[in-house]
Structure 1
Amino acid sequence: MIAAGVSRDGLAIRGAFHPLPSDGVPRSGGETCGTLVLLGPSAAFWPVFEGSAEYRDGAPDPLDRWSRRLIGGHARALGGSALFPFGGPPWHPFIAWARRGGQIWESPVGLLVHETAGLFVSFRGAIALGPRLRLPPAGASPCPGCAQPCRTACPVGALTPEGYDIPRCRAYLDTPDGEDCLTRGCAARRACPVGAELRGHRQSEFHMAAFHTGAPR
């Protein structure tokens, strides 16, 4: 039911789990969260967002406002609470939550990887629900057995298992050679053979511009 509802808005479930107190999942009114459902863009996301009022109105933070409206609406309809990876501090630990959701693993270059979205996985929000819903079986990482072209795809070696050198990445985007990553998306993410069809150039350019300037989305 949840998957069908959010899919109409270009979103997909990117993991779900039964939180422990140590996961730090808040619920409105002090209620216990029985199930946390993580949501991220699906292959249908960009046309939906591009046609939205938030994208077209010229006001700041269009994607964050879109996410609040859509995910907030789904949360209310389900009797849950909407949580977001933006709007802090304090910041919700979405990376830690993602690793608990059964669909996310760490890639050879340190970025999170999803079983079908690959290195293009991202999160627009989560819904905290009171009941302990039945969870789907855990998936499997796509990385074992892969040739792992992501390891050598970054032209300046900013992504390694040891960490992400963000200053080096941003400095490269300031150069003429960095135009390819800035307009088509991160070369390491594009090298992943899983989920390569999930993000077109306009979507990648939008996200890379926000990352490069450090502006909210």
Structure 2
Amino acid sequence: MDYAALSQIIRVQHLGIFGGFHPRPEDCAPEGTGTLLLLGPDEPGFWAHVTSEPEFADGKPDPMDRWSRRVIGHLACDLGAKAQFPFGGPPYAPFIRWAGRTGRAWVSPVSILVHDTAGLMLSYRGALALTEQIDLPEPPPPPCETCAKPCLTACPVNALTSDGYDTDTCHRYLDTAPGTACMTRGCDVRRACPVSQSYDRLPEQSAFHMRSFHP
């Protein structure tokens, strides 16, 4: 099965291929992997789709992760692949390393990963480890090379900078009245990215992730 056919199968679940690569031994992919594909929300439409699924109606914790396990697990079974997830550890699968290997995610000016289509709204829901080595599209150039980099000045408390992510400062700000905007619409820095703005992720989804980060 080729890349285009796989993309169509995966898109039925409102997921997209966020990059892939042919693993080397040092990549710590499952043994026998010929191609590793990273999956993320396919926008627009992901949030309406996923929140209509059973995991978001049963009142149990972690609906997004449980949905990801079920859906990507079924995809893996159908494709004769192995499913991998960025949660559920330790130990954790090395998704940040894998992201860099795809050539479609880079360290942004504010030190977190930026993706060619999701921008700073990047979220991996899982990965498929295929036994076949399929041909992959040529990766695009990093978007930050031609960007004015509004992310560098977007954080009101300088929690996200080129020096790294000061999560303590971020959490303190989110507890204040001005921090409510980040909690309900998503991180100011992530929203400032021009690629993020073209990704069509709904504020409701960003608010869900913010509540997970800052309960």
Give the TM bin, normalised by the shorter chain. Answer: over 0.9
Q: Distance in 1 between matches of 2:104 and 2:7?
A: 15
SS in structure 2 at match of 1:154: coil
Matched residue, 1:40? 40
TM-score, normalisation: structure 2 = 0.95
Once the two structures are TM-superposed, the CA of residue 144 in structure 1 deviates from its matched residue by 1.0
Q: Kindly state the Cα deviation for residue 2 of structure 1 after the two structures are TM-superposed.
A: 1.4
Residues matched between the structures, number? 209
Which residue in the other structure is 2:112 paired with? 111
2: CA distance, partners of 1:61 / 1:115: 27
Say yes or no: does 1:54 pair with 2:55: yes
Partners of 2:26 and 2:106 in 1: CA distance = 20
3-state DSSP class of the match of 1:69?
helix
Deviation at 1:110, TM superposition (A): 0.8
In structure 2, give the amino acid aligned to 1:165.
D
Equivalent residue number for residue 90 of structure 1: 91
Q: CA RMSD in A?
A: 0.9
Tell whether the 8 Å contact from 2:190 to 2:196 is kept in structure 1 after alignment. no
Superposed CA offset, 1:196-216 (max 9, x none): 142111111101000102xxx
Verify the 8 A CA contact 1:120 1:198 in the aligned structure 2.
Answer: no
Equivalent residue runs for 1:197-212 within 5 Å: 197-212=199-214
Deviations 1:108-165 (A, max 9, x none): 1011111121111110000001111111111111111211100000111001111101
CA–CA distance in 1 between the matches of 2:128 and 2:149? 33
Mapped partners of 1:65, 1:116: distance in 2? 25
- CA separation in 1, counterparts of 2:29 and 2:68? 19
Amino acid at match of 1:15: G
**SS, match of residue 20 in structure 2:** strand
Q: CA offsets, 1:27-71, max 9 Å, x none?
A: xxxx41110000011112111111111011111110010000111
Q: Which letter maps to 2:25? A: P
Where structure 2 has 5 or more consecutive residues not aligned to the other structure, the ranges are none
Structure 2 partner of 1:101:
102
- Aligned equivalents of 2:211, 2:201: Cα separation in 1: 15
Give the fraction of aligned pairs with identical amino acids, expressed as a percent: 54
1:182 is the counterpart of 2:192: no
SS state of the match for residue 175, structure 1?
A: coil
TM (normalized to structure 1)?
A: 0.94
The answer to whether residue 122 in structure 2 is matched with residue 121 in structure 1 is yes
Structure 1: stretches of 5+ with no match in the other structure? none
Q: Which residue is 1:18 aligned to?
A: 22
Instruction: Say if 1:80 and 1:129, in contact at 8 Å, map to a contact too.
Output: yes
Structure 1 segments (4+ residues) deviating >4 Å: none
| Residue 9 of structure 2 is aligned to residue 8 of structure 1 | no
Residues 16-25 or 139-148, more deviating = 139-148
> Quick one: distance in 2 between partners of 1:198 and 1:35?
28
